[in-house]
Copies of this chain bind each other. A is one copy, B any other.
Amino acid sequence: MIELNFSNMMEEVIGVKGITEKLLESFKNRVEEAHLQIVGRKWKELEFLELPDKETSEIKRIAKEIRGDSDNFLILGIGGSALGPRAILEALSPLHNLLKSPRIFIYDNVDPRTLKQILSIIDLKKTTVNVISKSGSTAETAASFMILWDEMKKAMGNDAAKRFVATTDPESGTLRKLATENNMRTLPIGEGIGGRYSVLSPVGLLLSEVIGIDSDELLKGAKDIHRKCSDHELWQNPAYMFGSLLYLMNTEEKRDINVMIPYADSLKSLSEWFCQLWAESLGKLGLGMTPYPSVGTTDQHSQLQLWMEGPEDKVVIFIRINNYGVDISIPGVFEDIEGMHYLSGHSLSGLIKAEEESTELALAKNGRPNLTINIPLIDAYHLGQLFHFFEIATAFTGFLIGINPFNQPSVEEGKNFTYGMMGKKGFDSKKLEVEQARDKKVCWKI
């Protein structure tokens, strides 16, 4: 089971900039209120809490077909539709495309260079395309789907639809409509499941099965951590403690940046997945905190100087791996070189773990708060725990802050300008606004 260690958040350890037990005590009512919203299922979007109980046979069935007839699996999706699958892929099958089949491509942009290159690599006849969109109307996913549909028609004629899987709303939306009309295989994203809370739905689970990872293990981990994070008592609930500490560090100490640094290359994408979840869910009404994606030890040589000595605006969240599964010994070479020889006889996992612990301590000694999530192993079971832990913590923190953690109202304006420029009906005035702004910009250019 994952474990939360928050010593380096507490006054007893880091001094006056830390949180006191008394403050946490006085905060209990707030925790209770947020808890009641969760257990009372006050929001339909809390449906994500039920995902670990779903059965996966249809996902497994489709994945088996894909593994049987595809050299390539191409996901079209953006935001939560891409970040979750990518976090699973990189954590559980790093360097996948150099080692295993089918190769996986996740196209989550409208960059023509990237798509051109993917198309030059894959044989469409041996490719399954997984279009992931709740509605189907997300511009980026729609554009890439239209291109792939056309290309697949050219390659496969009337059999084109057979090479697609649509992961979408069970009933409504344009993607559901197209899938039904064309007789595509589909997988449902439940009505209450928002994009950034969807990784444990077919959005992430199909990819998981396609790369040979039993999706039930992800769900089992999520289920177990859910049990551990269901207690109303702050001191018994690591997700609530996590959220409460970060919230209090924000409100009491003005720390508005939350760095997430897992000590594993393969969890960098998990960190990016978390950043969407935390940013989009909480960044509202002038409130929220900025999550920062990072990876250790690498960023000790990139960001640590700033965290140690820059503005006191951060809390650092470590993810510590107890067992890397594999290891490599550092051999006894270069014995006459003092600056290297001390490493001989240690293992790489010993070194990376020592560096993680050292960085925690150096920050703490400098009065810089940090907390650590310990995971025993990077596997599907514990990855499922991490996903669900952060989802529960995020919804909880949203309720603490007093905002709706499930919407993203402020991205509409940008979309409307794009619709205007693309000539979508009803957005002419937006096009005009863009053109006026363009004229103004010319004056300030060097």
- A443 interfacial contact with B, CB 8 Å: yes
B79 touches A301 (CB 8 A): yes
Look across to chain B and name the residue whose beta carbon is closest to the beta carbon of A337. Answer: B174
Q: How far is the CA of A143 from the CA of B165 in the complex (A)?
A: 45
Q: Mark A419-446, 1 if CB is under 8 A from B, else 0.
A: 1011111000000011001101101111
Bound Cα distance A331, B151 (Å): 9
Interface residue stretch chosen among A45-53, A56-64, A359-367, A380-388: A359-367
- Contact between A301 and B78, CB atoms less than 8 A apart: yes
Chain B proximity mask over A63-102: 1 for CB below 8 Å, otherwise 0: 0000000000000001110110000000000110111000
A434: chain B residues at CB < 8 Å are: 357-358, 361
Are B310 and A422 interface neighbours, CB within 8 A? no
Indicate if the CB atoms of B283 and A111 lie closer than 8 Å: no
B95, B303, B410: the one within 8 Å of A305 (CB): B410
Check A343 against B143 for contact (C-beta < 8 Å): yes
A16 to chain B, nearest CB (A): 16
Q: How far is the CA of A443 from the CA of B235 in the complex (A)?
A: 12
Q: Residue A340 at the B interface, CB < 8 A?
A: yes
- Residues of chain B with a CB closer than 8 A to A350's CB: 422
Residues from 16 to 41 in A contacting B, C-beta threshold 8 Å = none
Between A109, A282, A324, the greatest number of chain B beta carbons within 10 A of the residue's beta carbon is seen for A109
Interface assignment of A184: CB less than 8 Å from any CB of chain B: no
Question: Is the CB–CB distance between B421 and A78 below 8 Å?
Answer: no
Instruction: Assess whether B330 is in contact with A143, with CB atoms less than 8 Å apart.
Output: yes
Q: Are A265 and B422 in contact (CB under 8 A)?
A: no
| B413 touching A365, Cβ below 8 Å | yes
- From 321 to 362 in chain A, residues with beta carbon under 8 angstroms from any chain B beta carbon are 324-328, 330-331, 333-334, 337-340, 342-344, 346-352, 354-355, 357-359, 361-362
Residues on B with beta carbons closer than 8 Å to the beta carbon of A307: 283
- Least CB distance from A253 to B in Å reads 14
* In the complex, residue of chain B having the shortest beta-carbon distance to the beta carbon of A259: B290
A194 to B: closest C-beta gap in Å: 12
| Cβ contacts under 8 Å, A363 to chain B | 414
Q: Check B361–A433 contact: CB distance below 8 A.
A: yes
Once A308-B410, A325-B113, A339-B174 are accepted as A-B contacts, the answer to whether A355 and B283 lie under 8 Å apart by CB is no
A419 contact set on B, CB distance < 8 A: 342
Residues of B contacting A288 with CB < 8 Å? 306, 310-311
Asked whether any CB of chain B lies closer than 8 Å to the CB of A398, the reply is no
Name which of A5-13, A185-193, A199-207, A211-219 contacts chain B: A5-13
Q: Which of B109, B111, B146, B358 contacts A421 (CB 8 A)?
A: B358
**A 127-149 contacts with B by CB, 8 A:** 135-140, 142-143, 145-147, 149
Residue pair B443, A7 in contact (C-beta under 8 Å): yes
Residue A280 interfacial (CB < 8 Å): yes
Could you tell me if B286 and A310 are in contact, using CB atoms closer than 8 angstroms? yes
Instruction: Tell yes or no: A415 within 8 A of B by CB.
Output: yes
A 240-253 to B, binary, CB cutoff 8 A, 1 in contact else 0: 01000000000000
Show 25 residue pairs from A and B whose CB-CB distance is below 8 angstroms, ordered by the A residue: A4-B445, A5-B445, A79-B302, A95-B117, A109-B295, A112-B326, A113-B266, A116-B326, A139-B355, A142-B340, A143-B330, A143-B351, A149-B331, A275-B302, A279-B305, A283-B309, A284-B310, A286-B312, A287-B310, A290-B310, A309-B410, A343-B422, A359-B414, A361-B437, A364-B437
Which 10 A-B residue pairings sit nearest by Cβ, starting from the closest?
A: A283-B306, A79-B301, A283-B310, A358-B417, A308-B410, A362-B414, A276-B302, A137-B339, A150-B331, A7-B444
4 additional A-B pairs beyond A95-B117, A293-B293, A361-B433, beta carbons within 8 Å, are A13-B440, A113-B378, A147-B331, A286-B311
